[in-house]
Amino acid sequence: MNRLFSLTLSLLLLLASTGCVGRAAPAEPDTQRFSSQTVSSAPPPALPETPEKKAEEEPEQPEEPEVVEEPQVPEAPYVRVVDPSKPMVALTFDDGPHAVYSDMILDVLEEHHAVATFFEVGRNIAACPEVLPRMEELGCEIGSHSNAHRNLSKLKKSSLLKDLDAADAAFTAAVGYAPALVRPPYGAVNKTVKYASERTMITWTVDTLDWKSKDAQTVVDYLQNYGDLDGEIVLMHSIYESTAQAVAVLVPWLQEQGYQLVTVTELMAYYYGELPQPNQFYGYTYFTTHGRTDTPVQLPSGEQAPAAEAAPAQGAGAVPVQGTDAPAAPVQETSAAAAPPAANEQPPVQAVEAEQAVPPAWLFPPAEAAA
């Protein structure tokens, strides 16, 4: 009896145990079902919508081919305008042309509808014959920097004229004329160079020393901290990548400051009120003893738009200056010609008579590179 009870108890325990397992088993699926219901009842995730949005946008892309038709609207030729009453500065570049960096500088000028003056070495021109015509096309001024970058003050007059004539021949071959302006290498002059070269000799007023630092940021910092650049002629060199990089920053910056970027001859005419004359020397003394003129001079015909269209359009005597095929409607060069930039009372005095820059050896035969 006792054994029967024990057997019955064991059987009951076994059944109870099996029942528990049988009940516990569905518990997990229940949990999973609940869990999955929770997910499915949640707000729809954002992710699936993205492809739908993209799918909606894609059909609109066929509009793009229509954009191709836009070139039907001819872009009006740009007409640069110089207002003599507003700040202006002349950027100048010596020692080129350079097969790479001249074009980098011209790219920047073209993008910003700006111009500069390039004093080129005659014997460098043949190596990159396409550069000078592009300068001409963009309205830049081309000047001579002699033929061989010698110290002109050490040449006899006959040798001086021979060198300048050789340079003129190279310029004429490239663009069809000889430049009116000559910048003497190193800024080195004597009385013969100044007053008997049969050319106009002109130097600069602000030396960036770009040849020395060969660092774009140094050049940028120098000009941005210079003070008033109105009426200044800035010296740089078109044979350094660092200078080309600095120009990419400085050109838009100068325009944002309200400066008009003009050629040297434009600066002479519109700021100093004088057209450069042959057998004359325009150096630091000239520029620092002459201020802004009250009577701007018109450039000779051929260097500006027809006078009839030029005259009173801008009220203050603004003068359109680019090309003879300029259309009637002039466009202001500077977007917002603000008040003249904050200025130092006097620009720092700088030595001008001696340009220390030594041209890189690759430009000239070794025998002359040291000159």
**Which residues are part of the catalytic machinery?**
94, 237
Q: Which CB, 5 or 362, lies closer to Ni ion?
A: 362
CB of 149 to Ni ion, least distance (A): 6
DSSP string across 106-163: HHHHHHTT---EEEE-HHHHTTSTTHHHHHHHTT-EEEE--SS---GGGS-HHHHHHH
Residue of 187, 181, 178, 180 lying closest to 205 (CA atoms): 187
Using CB under 5 A, list all residues that contact Ni ion: 94-95, 185
Say which DSSP state 360 is in: P
| Neighbouring C-beta atoms of residue 258, cutoff 10 Å | 18
CB of 236 to Ni ion, least distance (A): 11
Residue 143 — left, alpha, or beta (φ > 0 → left; ψ -120 to 50 → alpha)?
beta
Alpha-carbon distance of 227 to 221, in angstroms, equals: 11
CB of 143 to Ni ion, least distance (A): 11
102: CB partners within 8 A, 6+ apart: 93, 96, 118, 128, 131, 135, 238
Q: Contact, 270 vs 321, CB < 8 A?
A: no
CB of 370 to Ni ion, least distance (A): 14
Q: Which CB, 204 or 259, lies closer to Ni ion?
A: 204
What sections of the chain are H helices per DSSP? 2-24, 27-41, 49-57, 64-67, 101-111, 122-125, 131-137, 157-175, 191-195, 210-213, 216-224, 241-256, 264-270, 284-289, 307-310, 366-369
CB of 186 to Ni ion, least distance (A): 7
CB of 212 to Ni ion, least distance (A): 13
Residue of 370, 359, 366 lying closest to 121 (CA atoms): 359
Q: Which CB, 143 or 185, lies closer to Ni ion?
A: 185
Q: Which CB, 143 or 330, lies closer to Ni ion?
A: 143
Alpha-carbon distance of 168 to 177, in angstroms, equals: 8
Q: Which CB, 95 or 103, lies closer to Ni ion?
A: 95
CB of 98 to Ni ion, least distance (A): 12
Residue of 216, 145, 153, 155 lying closest to 182 (CA atoms): 145
Q: Which CB, 82 or 201, lies closer to Ni ion?
A: 201
Q: Which CB, 122 or 320, lies closer to Ni ion?
A: 122
Residue number with the shortest CB distance to Ni ion? Answer: 94
Residue of 320, 267, 258 lying closest to 291 (CA atoms): 267
